[in-house]
């Protein structure tokens, strides 16, 4: 300490050394401990399947020992995540820390990067597919194949297991049947003069995943394709010009207030609102437009540096069990294993029957088509809609 007071240049170095020491010890406080080795001899954060743990019981034991799981951007009213988290927590006695529930996919990626090495970093992620692909390229995710891996269609997972689709749904038209005499069923219907000042999106298509999906669906309904989103942009520009489209971001609050009586959103969210609104006397109808049918899935991924690696893997096993898949189904989301579960009878029939109706199998744009559509939208949306 003497050096600090001596009038020599040495004191600068001393102060620096002192602050460096403080910084280092502070960093050490937040650092995670070394992951323990499983009975099968593999470190939990390197385990790529249930077998690496030596079976489900060993995984549960390892996860319980960690005692916690950090999840991020999972709104409780989105795809039934509230109940999913609660069920998981009760079943395994693991405390679930839910961070930034209303955040976006890029918030998740940012959290993985900025909280790297800290014990509050997210363990598991629920991302838009494009973010899953780019995150995997950046080497942010741990490869892991759940027990039900083979049942996930090949087009809906990364071959190495760094991400795998979880649940999805269709772009749908939600409509307040008490305020709207005849609810619109198709994109063509939305152009009718009777819907002036009534049609809203749940966000800005240059930012919100569901809003850009609605534009994509509108493109499909108006002569566009997965390669051409422009007709969708033109559709909304015309809708804005006629006054049908209002730019206010629809939320449960604006719907309840009656400001956004027609809202384009994922079918599982609109169907979820229907249930929630029924208690408040609102009759919220959900239709999947036959002229523009656009489906999209989200993906699961495990943080490569997950502070609770075993709990993270247990979470995935839980989600891809019949129980987890049925819980998503209860939130009107279509889990990725739904086709095989319908075949083998493990899907809960009453929940399947409650889903908004749709014919045929969904098809998806390729990542390249998706990237091009986004670039086109970002470049042209503001100009087309302005004025």
Counting Cα atoms < 13 Å in the Cβ hemisphere of 73 gives 20
Q: By CB under 8 A, tell whether 40 contacts other proteins.
A: no
Our finding on whether 324 is near other proteins (CB under 8 A) is: no
* Interface with other proteins (CB under 8 A), residue from 88, 92, 131, 284: 131
Question: Judged by CB under 8 A, does residue 337 bind other proteins?
Answer: no
208 vs 346 by CB, closer to other proteins: 208
Under DSSP, the state recorded for 295 is E
CB of 286 to other proteins, least distance (A): 21
Instruction: Give least dist CB 322 to other proteins, A.
Output: 29
Closest CA to 167 of 346, 330, 306: 330
Degrees (nearest 5) of the Cα angle 130, 76, 350? 90
Binding of other proteins at residue 128 (CB under 8 A)? yes
Task: Say how far apart CA 259 and CA 249 lie, in whole Å.
Answer: 10
Is residue 326 within 8 Å of residue 75, measured between CB atoms? no
**Binder among 87, 89, 98, 208 for other proteins (CB under 8 A):** 208
- Residue 240 CB: number of other CB atoms within 10 A? 17
List of long-range contacts for 25-31, beta carbons under 8 Å, 24+ apart:
30/117, 30/118, 30/119, 30/120, 31/117, 31/118, 31/119
Interaction pattern, residues 228-267, with other proteins; x per rule: CB under 8 A: ------------x-----xxxx---xx--xxx-x------
3-state secondary structure of 152: coil
Among 54-62, 97-105, 158-166, 272-280, the segment contacting other proteins (CB under 8 A): 97-105
* 284 DSSP 8-state letter: E
Binding mask 182-201 for other proteins (x = CB under 8 A): ---------------xx--x
- When the beta carbons of 87 and 206 are compared against other proteins, the nearer one is 206
105: contact with other proteins by CB under 8 A: yes
Q: What is the helix (H) or strand (E) element at residue 309, kind and residue range? A: helix 309-319
Q: Which of 107, 227, 234, 291 binds other proteins (CB under 8 A)?
A: 107
Dist CA 78 CA 71 (whole Å):
14
Residues of this chain that bind other proteins (CB under 8 A): 103-107, 110, 128, 130-131, 134, 137-138, 197-198, 201, 203-209, 211-212, 240, 246-249, 253-254, 257-259, 261, 374, 377-383, 385-386
């Amino acid at each position: 300490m003497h050096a600090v007071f001596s009038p020599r240049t040495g004191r600068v170095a001393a102060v620096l050394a002192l602050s460096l020491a403080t910084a280092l010890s502070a960093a050490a406080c937040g650092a995670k401990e070394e992951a323990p080795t499983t009975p099968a001899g593999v470190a939990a954060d390197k385990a790529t399947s249930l077998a690496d743990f030596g079976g489900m019981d060993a995984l549960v034991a390892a996860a319980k020992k960690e005692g916690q799981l950090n999840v991020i951007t999972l709104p409780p009213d989105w795809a039934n995540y509230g109940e999913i988290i609660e069920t998981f927590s009760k079943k395994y006695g693991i405390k679930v820390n839910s961070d930034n529930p209303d955040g976006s996919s890029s918030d998740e990626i940012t959290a993985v990067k900025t909280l790297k090495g800290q014990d509050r970093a997210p363990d598991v992620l629920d991302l838009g597919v494009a973010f899953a692909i780019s995150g995997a390229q950046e080497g942010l995710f741990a490869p892991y194949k759940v027990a039900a891996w083979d049942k996930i269609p090949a087009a809906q997972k990364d071959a190495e297991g760094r991400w795998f689709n979880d649940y999805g749904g269709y772009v749908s038209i939600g409509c307040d049947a008490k305020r709207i005499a005849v609810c619109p069923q198709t994109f063509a219907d939305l152009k009718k003069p009777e819907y002036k000042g009534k049609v809203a999106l749940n966000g800005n298509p240059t930012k919100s995943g569901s809003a850009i999906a609605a534009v994509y669906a509108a493109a499909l309904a108006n002569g566009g394709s997965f390669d051409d989103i422009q007709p969708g942009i033109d559709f909304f520009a015309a809708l804005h010009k006629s006054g049908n489209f209002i730019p206010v971001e629809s939320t449960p609050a604006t719907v309840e207030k009656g400001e956004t009586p027609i809202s384009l959103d994922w079918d599982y969210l609109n169907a979820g609102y229907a249930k929630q609104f029924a208690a408040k006397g609102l009759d919220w109808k959900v239709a999947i437009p036959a002229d523009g049918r656009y489906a999209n899935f989200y993906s699961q991924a495990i943080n490569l540096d997950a502070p609770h690696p075993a709990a993270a893997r247990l979470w995935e096993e839980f989600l891809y069990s019949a129980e987890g898949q049925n819980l998503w189904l209860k939130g009107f989301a279509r889990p990725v294993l739904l086709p095989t579960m319908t075949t083998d009878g493990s899907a809960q029939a009453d929940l399947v029957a409650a889903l908004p109706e749709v014919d045929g199998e969904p098809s998806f744009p390729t990542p390249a088509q998706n990237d091009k559509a986004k670039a086109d939208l970002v470049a042209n949306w503001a100009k087309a809609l302005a004025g």
